[in-house]
Structure 1
């Protein structure tokens, strides 16, 4: 078999599901035929039986939503049939088909069979169809109500059971969350320990490359620690500063021995360019470690100048991270005394005077202004804007 080229391909529609199953019971075949004709246009599955016994037998095989039974039938009449239907299938709608002379049987059907309605012969087709629709709608509403009542009852039961065990569940969940929290705390402590160990390893690598008289990281760290304790810095900033003090010259690892031992102010040409790149190199080595990204940021910017002439980003004033400003002061204060900046070692007091002289150009003025104490004490301070400064003599007298 071949299809024409222009013949459209159609998908057959799925069969329509009947809205309800009806059972028509009457001992007269012509009455059953007439009822079926009336319901032909409706979306019902229509079954027929010619006696009460046959109807009950059919209901054992099929789920029936509505029964229409004639009143007067040989053997089991309509009233008795609908009464028995009510007992075996209470949800099934029961309607009696009766003539004018069947009033006693109708009353009995109402009393015993609890029928939904009765239809008098001869019936009106439109009223018959309307009665069936109303009956089935009523049945659907009742079924939905029962379903919701059953669902509510089930949910109430579940809620009662849940409430009965809620305390135990909460306790169990609390213990579970505590175990998870303890595991996370333990993992975090291990992670912090790993970062500290990594920092010590990196710092040790730097120290081993330097001659002993140029070892500055530990002293810079002591100075930062004393400042942090005096000014009660936030834990995150304190941690980042201490890490930066240990790793600020990480970017110098690739230098040769000559550059490592040459004061920075004696470097020229390509050596000078390489020197100016070490903050960025140090940052790039640490950025892959999430816990050290704050440290990396301080290392990158600790060579910025307050007037914007520094490197690598030429940041100016408050745009320079506060921690980087503090790190720059600590590094220069110690490196001046170690002979790592100028060709000679600068005594502690002269180093302080030089930092103060460069205030407003290289360093934040508030960080290097003199303290409120008398000049004879020869004390100088770092200052956070609006706060008392750390006294350099206290922090450095035992370490310089």
Structure 2
């Protein structure tokens, strides 16, 4: 039998033969000479223990009866000190006491009788060494498995920490992206308002509509508690509902719809689709674009572009049509005669169930009442100030527009000293006078009392 060493070389299995009779040792050595074993000889138990203390031995085969230390005692010592070394008892007597001692204390692998059978002796040694090597391999594999399991546990612990850290990092990145995306969507609202007011510069001031429609839709969103997303979509739709009209001639843009010629009327009916087409490529504008597409549909199905009827028309589009018609009737963009706000509301009531959703009309009238009365002024914290009365920390409650209609600051903006200085300079450059609707921040606790004592 052969064993692989760690350095890749091979060594023979080592067999230690112990007997006090030299002739027996010589006979065993001759028998095993042709075998691939390294043979060691000892003529006493004491000598055998000395050899074992100096080098590893795979199998110890000892005579049972020897002077001094008998075989059973020797094998018991071997079992205690070198448990991996296999032990075989060789006895010439049917001495059950020694055999029992060897089995119980020495836990021998086998015992053989004298005189032995050579073939049986060789088979016994081969089996013993095979068992020894398989046991060594089992222990080696167990140790390797324990080591690898420990490495795996350590790796798992490290991996869990790395995964947790990476997950936290990814979550933080995702949160930052969400915030950035929300900020981007809010920026889209401001951007659409700026663009719509720039587009309105093609029209005389008396014909401009977008700013009033935006404010009216904002009042609707606020009074109905719409979500931020729905409010954003409605506001963007109000800002850009007529972007498809920019390809029209100046004369067509200012003419009442009921006076348009046949060819112009076809172009007029195409503007909602044209507006939607311009906006659909912008992901944050898709829902607003759908509202714009259908804002000229009529409750009875006679509208355009798709002749939708009743509740098949998106709710946002039904509300936008009410707001658009209310303002455009007052600007003379629908009928030749310009109406005042009360007349426009009477017109809308008259055509409820034909042009407009009858369930929305009275609600719309209430929203218009809030819009026209400017409920923000009923808030004691809201005041109207000139630019030189403004102070840092005040918050705009209305969009601030220049006299030419350009949006300067959007509602919700917190004023800073630098912004106030810019407004004063811009006002002087325009030779105008701005009325700024702001909410004055409440004084800090104890401030009023301290001021009174002073």
Contact 1:71 1:106 in 2 (8 A): no
1:51-130 alignment, distance < 5 Å: 51=40, 67-72=58-63, 87=81, 92=84, 94-96=86-88, 98-99=90-91, 101=93, 115=108, 117-120=109-112, 123=120
Relative to structure 2, which stretch is displaced further, 328-337 or 286-295?
Answer: 286-295
Which residue is equivalent to 1:258?
Answer: 251
Task: Give a deviation string over 1:256-299, Cα, whole Å, max 9, x none.
Answer: 32321222233344433332222222223323333332222211
**TM-score, scaled relative to structure 2:** 0.57
Q: How many residues align?
A: 334
Q: Over alpha carbons, which structure has the higher Rg?
A: 2
Task: Give a deviation string over 1:332-380, Cα, whole Å, max 9, x none.
Answer: 1111111111222133333222222322222111012xxxxxxxxxxx5
Mapped to 1, the partners of 2:197 and 2:71 lie a distance apart of 105
Q: CA deviation at 1:381?
A: 3.5
Cα 1:330–1:78, aligned 2, differ >3 Å: closer, same or farther?
farther
Which residue is equivalent to 1:297?
Answer: 290
Root-mean-square deviation (CA, aligned residues, Å) is 5.1
Cα 1:282–1:96, aligned 2, differ >3 Å: closer, same or farther?
farther
Q: CA deviation at 1:181?
A: 7.9
Q: CA deviation at 1:206?
A: 1.7
Q: CA deviation at 1:70?
A: 2.5
Cα 1:145–1:353, aligned 2, differ >3 Å: closer, same or farther?
same
Which residue is equivalent to 2:311?
Answer: 318
Contact 1:302 1:328 in 2 (8 A): yes
**TM-score, scaled relative to structure 1:** 0.63
Cα 1:101–1:230, aligned 2, differ >3 Å: closer, same or farther?
same
Q: CA deviation at 1:302?
A: 1.2
Q: CA deviation at 1:252?
A: 1.7
Match of 1:199 among 174, 182, 192: 192
Q: CA deviation at 1:222?
A: 1.7
Match of 1:392 among 368, 379, 393: 368
Q: CA deviation at 1:331?
A: 0.4
Cα 1:48–1:124, aligned 2, differ >3 Å: closer, same or farther?
closer
Which residue is equivalent to 1:43?
Answer: none
5+ residue gaps, structure 1, are 1-20, 37-46, 369-379, 383-388
Contact 2:329 2:344 in 1 (8 A): yes
Aligned partner of residue 353 in structure 2, secondary structure: coil
Which residue is equivalent to 1:238?
Answer: 231
Mapped to 2, the partners of 1:224 and 1:129 lie a distance apart of 98
Which residue is equivalent to 2:393?
Answer: none
Aligned partner of residue 71 in structure 1, secondary structure: strand
Cα 1:118–1:221, aligned 2, differ >3 Å: closer, same or farther?
same
1:222-371 alignment, distance < 5 Å: 222-368=215-361
Mapped to 1, the partners of 2:252 and 2:236 lie a distance apart of 24
5+ residue gaps, structure 2, are 1-10, 18-24, 43-47, 376-454
Mapped to 2, the partners of 1:266 and 1:30 lie a distance apart of 131
